[in-house]
Structure 1
Amino acid sequence: MRVGFILLVILVFGACKSPEARYPVSQNSGSYIRESVERNRELVAAEEEYIKALIEKDSTTEYYASNDGFWYYYNKRSTDSSNTEMPEFGDLVKFDYSLSTLDGDPIYAEGEKPTREYAIDQEKLFSGLRQGLKLMKEGETLTFLFPSHKAYGYYGDKNKIGTNVPVMAKVTLHDINKNESKNDD
């Protein structure tokens, strides 16, 4: 009985001990994130060098570099001097586009994707195309060369476009309907 009482006292006082912090088995110093950033920088640089080499080989086309990190050229440029409007935030545009690899192999051929209506910067669309549409006027057709981070990036489109695939997009802007509500302020 005496042994049981001593055991009970030890258990009671042992249970009153304050909890100790548990430390992780391994500590992460952030090296994985730094390595990932470095891999992505190398990938972007390699894709941009490849695009620049393609542009350099094509002496018959005048390419333009956008401020947003992609290149483009005009297939059909508006010559109408009264056609100066470009889409802005909230404008509704109607456009067609096709996608191919940078080498010209079709991913989504012309006509494979339906004509799309899109409210500028208010709907989901890959970043390069979202920015590229703002450079266009009604009736123009442009071809854009997008590095993968401006196209579908790491995830692809979960259909025909895989991980980190740079793309060429041929886009025709049919119509711009200005958002009148932004001028009501």
Structure 2
Amino acid sequence: MLKKIALLSILSLLVVSCGEPQARKPISRSTGSFLKESVERNKALIAKEEANIQKYILQDTTNAYIASKNGFWYFYNTKINQELYLPKKGDTLTYEYNISKMTTGEAIYKKEEIGIQQYVVDKQQIFPGLRHGLQLLKKGETATFLFPSHVAYGYHGDNKRIGTNVPIKSTITLLDIKKDNKNLETEN
């Protein structure tokens, strides 16, 4: 008799536990306040960095800075005035650059340390400011860029020498452009 009761108890437990799982309601609901606060912090950070860059530009009376549509400023060290080809998607660019602290000019990475680099336009990952800056240069041109942190290395930095939310200054020289075959066809 005891065996029958134990068997019935086990069977009833199995039947009850095999039912459909019931969804649990969340304990708390997100109001989006964290996201809103984060957006406000980022806006304030960008505004502060841009104000510091504007102050830097005003103090630099030697150079005529150009504001880019991508959120950074630059001036040409070497400008080629004749109509030359600008990089397009798929082109392979050969370039060199350095990175320094915007405020002090102290080198973070020297161009000799970085070495000559290659980049296939819009097909490889490099930081946004460098990607957009290279596309403004013609072969043989050199420009100095002031990159706010959000178009440089952002919140994470480079996990080496560039810290969190650090605006940088970079002088970039476009040494060569190897045109993509598709761009050669559209040029003719």
TM-score w.r.t. the length of structure 2 is: 0.86
Query: Aligned-residue CA RMSD in angstroms?
Result: 2.4
Gaps of 5+ in 2: none
Tell me the secondary structure at the aligned position of residue 107 of structure 1. strand
Aligned partner (choices 30, 33, 44) of residue 32 of structure 2:
30
Tell me the secondary structure at the aligned position of residue 163 of structure 2. coil
**Alpha-carbon shift at residue 76 of structure 1 (Å):** 1.3
Alignment of 1:95-110 (within 5 A): 95-103=95-103, 104-110=105-111
**Alpha-carbon shift at residue 182 of structure 1 (Å):** 4.0
After superposition, the Cα gap between the structure-2 partners of 1:141 and 1:182, relative to the gap in structure 1 and judged at 3 Å, is closer
Alignment of 1:1-185 (within 5 A): 12=12, 15=16, 19-79=21-81, 81=82, 83-103=83-103, 104-184=105-185
Kindly provide the CA deviation profile for residues 91-115 of structure 1, in whole angstroms up to 9, marking residues without a partner as x: 1111000001112111102311010
Tell me the secondary structure at the aligned position of residue 28 of structure 1. coil
**Alpha-carbon shift at residue 157 of structure 1 (Å):** 1.0
- Aligned residue type for 1:155: H
**Alpha-carbon shift at residue 18 of structure 1 (Å):** 6.5
Q: Which moved more, 1:83-92 or 1:147-156?
A: 83-92
- Give the whole-Å Cα distance in 2 for the aligned partners of 1:73 and 1:181: 31
- Provide the aligned length of Structure 1 versus Structure 2: 182
Higher share in helix: 2
Gaps of 5+ in 1: none
- Aligned residue type for 1:96: E
Tell me the secondary structure at the aligned position of residue 67 of structure 1. coil
Kindly provide the CA deviation profile for residues 116-143 of structure 1, in whole angstroms up to 9, marking residues without a partner as x: 0111111111011100011101111100
Tell me the secondary structure at the aligned position of residue 48 of structure 2. helix
After superposition, the Cα gap between the structure-2 partners of 1:50 and 1:137, relative to the gap in structure 1 and judged at 3 Å, is same
- Give the whole-Å Cα distance in 1 for the aligned partners of 2:145 and 2:23: 55
TM-score w.r.t. the length of structure 1 is: 0.87
Residues 88, 183 of structure 2: 8 Å contact kept: no
After superposition, the Cα gap between the structure-2 partners of 1:113 and 1:18, relative to the gap in structure 1 and judged at 3 Å, is closer
**Alpha-carbon shift at residue 163 of structure 1 (Å):** 1.2
